Structure 1
Amino acid sequence: MLNNNLVAAIETNWLSLLIAVVVVAGLHALAKRRVGFGTRVLVALGVGLVAGIVLNQTASEFQAISTLGSIYVNLIRMLVMPLVFVLVINSIVSITQLDYLRKIGVKTIGWFLGTTGAAAIIGLLVALAMNPGAGIQASQPEGFEAREVPTFFQVVLDQVPSNPIQDAASGKVVPILIFALFIAIAIVRVGSRKPEAVQPVKAFIASLTEVMHQVVKYVLRFTPYGVFALIAVMAARYGIETLKPLAMLIVVSYVALILHFVIVFGGLVSFVAKVNPLKFFKKAYPTIAVAFTTRSSYATLPVNLEVITKRLRISDRIASFVAPLGATMNFNGCGGVWPAVVAVFVSEVFGVPLSFTDYLLIVFVSVISSIGVAGVPGPASISTTVVLTAVGLPLEGIAIVVAVEALIDMGRTAVNATGTTVTSLLVANAEGEFDRASFDRDEEDELELTTA
């Protein structure tokens, strides 16, 4: 009986299975030829659309492809809790090992988190105003249950950890974040009195962080395959017309990023540091350009250090602290604007309404999770996963938006890197380590950019 059912399933899904095997083999061949990750994701998007159209017209079942997409979503879900817990602890412990923590560390982290919160608010407002999910409708995943809308005080109470293991098993992200913060603070406090007592814990956390980074890399390698599968299934079920509004997602994202760049960064430079914003951004242009083209905060770091010290006339002491920390922790674009836009998009696509309390939670989780994704490959995907999980939205929506991430990631990274440059100015100005006279006097600064 079982064999008969298996044969029947294969016969019904033969086209789906054939397409899945051919596409997976093709994407794997591109990876072997060292075709760029972003290119492979875009190829997977295009092939998924074509495959979905074919299946929409020729097949009633496509379980082989949908199973591939479900595997990808499950792998992402697998990462959330252990990754958040380990990385929040490691980030806080690593930061507090620096001598400057009390003097400039708190200010630096405060600006990072504050601007990320502002970015999340802007992302929410723009997404709600422009509604990027309009026109796309998807059925809610099997087993998904809409949450009852709790009162504000119940939401606050639910975020306080009571049983961390049970919270993790229940998929509650915020209690795990808070629990990790308590652990990190305790390690710092004990370490200030008895360094030898916490050294084994620090070494374990640092080692586990490296291991989790590698696990993330493994999972992210499946992204092109997951994008292909979930886009193909969506196109097969709903047709090509439902995917056209993805273009609106790109527009909404860039509108939010530009508004954050102009209003938040421009406002802070003008009114807090009291610096001409046009002159500042002109001097910071190498950082913006390299971040936009490389899509990597790490690749931008050497250039940003040069810009901060030689063009902006900020002390080496401030630059050497803020710039490396910003490359691993400051995610205004990836951790602020993007998760907020995606949350609104996914709620519209899957028909899961969000309340005002959910909006507050999105901003809060975006800020806190930006600590947790410090130094992780693909921070935008991880932050978005954490935010969607926190507000109870289907993670299946991630693969839909990942399809256009390569186009949006350029703007996100430019905003991330610029945010680090702005924070360097704000901290240096507050600490008297910004040479304003040289900044104002220099008309042209020589900066030789070399790229590998």
Structure 2
Amino acid sequence: MDINIKLILAIIASLVAVYVVYIVNKKTGKRSTATLVALGLGLIIGIVFKGNIPFLKVVGKGYMSLIKMVVIPLVMTSIITSLVRFKNIETLKSIGFKAVGLLLGTTGIAAVIGIVIGKIFNVGAGFVFTGAGDFTAREIPALTDVILGFLPANVIASIADGQIIPVVVFSIFVAIALVIEDNKNPDKIKAFKDFILSTYEIVMSITRIVLKFIPYGVFGLIATAASNNGLDTILSLATVVAAVYVACLLQILLVHTPLISGVARRNPIKFFGDIFPAMLLAFTSQSSYGTLPVTIDSLVNRAKVKDEVASFTASLGSTMGMNACGGLYPAIVAIFVAQVFNIDLTMYHYILIVATTIVGSIGIAGVPGAATMSTTVVLSVLGLPLEGMAMVMAVDAVIDMARTATNVTGAAVSALVVDETEKRKEAKLVRN
């Protein structure tokens, strides 16, 4: 019987790493510190034991399954609970418009940054295209189908399929009806209202239990990613990877940071520290949707954003206006494909890229691979070869780490800005 020595060593090394993470978590009492250690150890083990850690995929994917387990119940109960807490309908309207405006506006700016960085890095220049015939573009639904898809014809089916927007729409209707009936006949709906509030507390308790295992989930996810995407593959498209990472960094520094300091009037460094657990999980899991429970937890318990604002805006941000997946990444890929196929883009094309990313980012479910649909929409509108996307798919997992972290950061910043501006407005009304 053949014995795979590397596999055995990988198992031993992984067990030692998990134990180290456990000790760090126990000694420091800080989950974020343990998660950072897990990130480093996972990266090392993934590179050293490349191709010999299939068992860690179970750890990473298993943890993401637990995270996704609580997402739908959390979204439903948090949105209903959040909206019910708004006694004033005008306040709800104000928060809704602000959240949508911030998410879509920052995505448009992200597209501009993507275009500029794509041109500066000259992505795609000199790249030899091969294997175009192996790529099959996703079917792009008509606008009418997209709009109809937002409406929950069968909410049970939407829940089962994990379709977040129909669930959000249904939850909003339930919340509005609750507010109306609560003002008319509070006694009649008290039992249902108490049920929703109690369910929310139970779901949050489950979420907190799941969140305790973040360091181990991150370890499995980053080790698997490092193992599957070796240095050779990454280096072949290094310019594209670098362009995306630089664009994501600029989005955070030039867009998110001024919003935090200038509009929300908070310390950016302190705020980024508050949401670091969400950013790190987003980076390793590549899922804005799956990171949602951690994002809400970080906003409410660490950044001190109101629960109703955090739940509403973060949930909205996991499905629309995703700065990186919906904005800067499609723009960079469009520049890349145009360069590879020697297609000249005019100012009209650049304007079209920005407009398309804003519209195309509406309703993108925050799951791994969501950027593909958004990019397909942009390439189709521009008339660029769809098979050009096949070239960047090899490093998509590496790129998606930065994309997702930027998406989550954008949603969190939007929640902070909405919360702080609403607090100042309320304080002004009290003074007057």
Q: Smaller-chain TM-score range? A: 0.5 to 0.7
TM-score after normalising by structure 1:
0.61
Question: Structure 2 stretches of 5 or more lacking a match?
Answer: 125-135, 276-297, 338-352, 376-392
C-alpha distance in structure 1 between counterparts of 2:244 and 2:142, whole Å: 31
1:117 aligns with 2:104: yes
Alignment CA distance shift 1:336-1:68 (3 Å)? closer
- Counterpart of 2:199 (choices 200, 204, 208) is 208
2:66 pairs with one of 67, 75, 86? 75
Correspondences of 1:189-228 after superposition (within 5 Å) = 189-228=180-219
C-alpha change, 1:81 and 1:111, in structure 2 (3 Å) is: same
- Contact 2:41/2:219, CA 8 A, preserved across alignment: yes
Flag structure 1 segments of 5+ consecutive residues without an equivalent. 1-6, 136-144, 267-279, 305-322, 367-383, 436-452
Q: Quick check: 1:231 aligned with 2:222?
A: yes
- Work out the CA distance in 2 between the residues paired with 1:25 and 1:9: 25
Alpha carbons of 1:106 and 1:172: their partners in 2 closer, same or farther (altered >3 Å)? Answer: closer
Q: Matched residues, percent identical?
A: 22
Counterpart of 2:166, as a letter, is P
Q: 1:256 aligns with which of 251, 263, 273?
A: 251
Q: Specify whether residues 103 and 77 from structure 1 end up closer, same or farther in structure 2 by C-alpha distance, changes over 3 A only.
A: closer
Q: Quick one: distance in 2 between partners of 1:127 and 1:83?
A: 33
- Structure 1 match to 2:293: none
Which of 29, 33, 47 matches 1:39?
33
Please report the RMSD computed on the Cα atoms of aligned residues, expressed in angstroms: 4.9
Structure 1 residues 420 and 171: alpha-carbon distance in aligned structure 2, compared to 1, 3 A threshold: closer
Q: In structure 1, how many angstroms separate the alpha carbons of the residues matched to 2:252 and 2:170?
A: 32
Q: Shift of the alpha carbon at 1:33?
A: 1.2
> Per-residue CA shift, 1:41-64, capped at 9, x if unaligned?
2222211221112112xxx43221
In the alignment, the residues of structure 2 paired with residue 178 and residue 332 of structure 1 have an alpha-carbon distance, to the nearest angstrom, of 12
Contact in 1 for aligned 2:43/2:226 (Cα 8 Å)? yes
Structure 2 residue identity aligned to 1:200: A
Are positions 1:48 and 2:42 aligned together?
Answer: yes
Equivalent residue runs for 1:21-420 within 5 Å: 21-56=15-50, 60-95=51-86, 98=87, 101-127=88-114, 130=117, 147-240=138-231, 242=234, 251-260=246-255, 281=262, 285=265, 288=268, 290-292=270-272, 294-295=274-275, 297-298=299-300, 326=309, 329=312, 339-342=322-325, 360=359, 362-364=361-363, 384-385=366-367, 388=370, 401=401, 416-420=415-419
Alignment TM-score, normalising by the size of structure 2: 0.64
Give per-residue Cα distances to partners, 1:330-362, cap 9 Å, x unaligned: 55997699943156789899xxx9999886353
Give the drift of 1:194.
0.9
The answer (yes or no) to whether the contact 1:190–1:198 under 8 Å persists in 2 is yes
Residue correspondences, number: 356
Report the 3-state secondary structure (helix = DSSP H, G, I; strand = E; otherwise coil) of the residue aligned with 2:362. helix
Cα distance in 1 for partners of 2:316, 2:248 equals 9
Displacement of 1:402 after TM fit?
Answer: 8.2
- Secondary structure (helix, strand or coil) at the match of 1:363 reads coil
Check the 8 A contact 2:323/2:407 in 1, yes or no.
Answer: no
Distance in 2 between the 1:289 and 1:146 partners? 41
Q: Render the CA deviation track for 1:432-452: whole Å, top value 9, x for unaligned.
A: x788xxxxxxxxxxxxxxxxx
Following TM superposition, by how much is the alpha carbon of 1:112 offset from its aligned partner in structure 2, in angstroms? 3.3
In 2, the alpha carbon distance for the partners of 1:398 and 1:197 equals 53
